[in-house]
Amino acid sequence: MDWEDVELAARHQILTCAELESLGVTKRMIWARVRTGGPWRRILPGVVMLRNGTPTRAQALEAALRYAGKEAVVTGLAAARLHGLEKFSPTEQVHVLVPHRHRRTNKGYVIVERTTRMPPIVTRGGFPTADVTRAVLDAARRMDESARVQALLAEAVQRGRTTPDRLREELEAGSDRGSALPRAALTAITEGARSVAEGWGMRVAARSGLPPMRWNVRLRTGSGLVLPSPDGWIDDVALAMEVDSLEHHLAPDDYRRTLERHNIMTAHGIVVVHVVPSQLRTEPDKVIAHLRESYRHAARRPRPDIVAQW
């Protein structure tokens, strides 16, 4: 047995006990090195880190895959992070998919999901990973807060990592279990909401009794000048609603861009209503009253020559 061979065989310093034994390390030697105060650490049943201390994120991922077996694939939030998504609370859990015939169970920080629908594998950060569409929906099915679900799916779509059509196809192909919140979030995204706050805005606007509000439309003047795209738009009176994502302490550049958008739209005769996310959540009736009054104001003046596309 050559300790150098052991180190070379260990990806991210992680090996299973079976792999160690195949390299000539006896069970007794393994036990001696992982005991309290020893130089190694047993991370999961049958999985050893060839050093002591807290594993890195890469070591935790590698250990989860070694524990789950050679065909295991990272999915859920762990995979979403590997795909570069970040608008969710970090978690130490690692969600992996394994073929249905496998008999591994959840252990420690590892969620093992047996499936008859193993996804195509893409490599991210050196790890076998489910494609982003499958990964975010696997995560969403286990969430119980609609805002978290919509934030995750909206980020994946907004960053161009997937599309509403691909998300819908994956939802239809999978189990109905845990699909209610992702379906609702996908409906809002399909209708134009690019964020959780815009989803709240949709629901509030729908209660206003006003003509339908379109979302993230493209605007131009009759002469062809392109204008900023508002969050919400009521076309018959050229009324825009802007959901300002940051309520306090806007960075100077963010504040400047908000003012520029407002000034350009109002200079072309558009009536602009600004709301912040907390108002949509806690004061929807006030927002509705403001929308109605702004609509009446917009209806009293001649409609400006603005063309909207959605």
Closest CA relative to residue 179, chosen from 118, 138, 147, 148:
138
The reply to whether 136 falls in a domain is yes
248 confidence band (pLDDT: 50, 70, 90) = very low
- Residue 174 banded pLDDT, cuts 50, 70, 90: confident
Q: Can you list the positions of beta strands (E) in 105-236?
A: 110-115, 121-124, 127-130, 214-215, 218-221, 226-227, 232-234
Handedness of CA 15, 11, 6, 29 (dihedral sign): negative
With a cut of 50, say whether residue 294 has pLDDT above it: yes
Residue 197 is assigned to a structural domain of this protein: no
In a domain, 204, yes or no: no
* Same-domain pairing of 27 and 67: no
Nearest partner of 289 among 273, 300, 301, judged by Cα: 273
Dist CA 198 CA 153 (whole Å):
13
Burial annotation 195-214 (CB, 10 A radius, 16+ → b, else e): bbbbbbbbebbeebebeebb
* Full-model pTM: 0.67
Residues 183 and 227 in one domain: no
State whether 66 and 183 are in the same domain.
yes
Average pLDDT over residues 192-204: 72
pLDDT score of 194 more than 80: no
What pLDDT sits at residue 138? Answer: 96
pLDDT at 310 over 80: no
**Mean pLDDT of all residues belonging to the chain:** 89
SS3 124: strand
What is residue 7's predicted lDDT score, i.e. its pLDDT?
78
Task: Give the confidence band of 6 by pLDDT, cuts at 50, 70, 90.
Answer: confident
Q: Is 245 left (phi over 0), alpha (psi -120 to 50) or beta?
A: alpha
In this structure, are 257 and 147 located in the same domain?
no
Q: Is residue 51 part of a domain?
A: yes
Tell me: do 21 and 67 sit in the same domain.
Answer: no
Residue 169 shares a structural domain with residue 267: no
Which of 78-92, 107-121, 183-197 is predicted least confidently?
Answer: 183-197
Tens of pLDDT, residue by residue over 117-147, are 999 999 999 999 999 999 999 999 999 988 7
* Phi and psi angles of residue 207, each rounded to the nearest 5 degrees, phi first: -85, -5
Q: What angle is formed at CA 152 by the lines to CA 168 and CA 144, rounded to 5 degrees?
A: 90
Instruction: Please report the pLDDT score of residue 285 as a whole number.
Output: 94
* Residue 102 counted as domain residue: yes
3 state SS of 10: coil
- Based on C-alpha coordinates, what's the Rg of the chain? 26
Q: Where is the domain boundary, 30, 55, 80?
A: 55
What are 203-247's pLDDT values in tens digits?
899 899 999 999 889 999 999 999 999 989 999 999 999 987 654
Residue 146: per-residue pLDDT: 82
Same structural domain for residues 116 and 75?
yes
* Residue 206: inside a domain: no
Most confident of 147-156, 179-188, 255-264, 299-308: 299-308
Query: What residue numbers bound the domain in which 118 lies?
Result: 59-190
Q: Domains in the chain: how many in total?
A: 3
Please indicate, yes or no, whether residues 76 and 186 belong to a single structural domain of this protein: yes
Domain-embedded: residue 261: yes
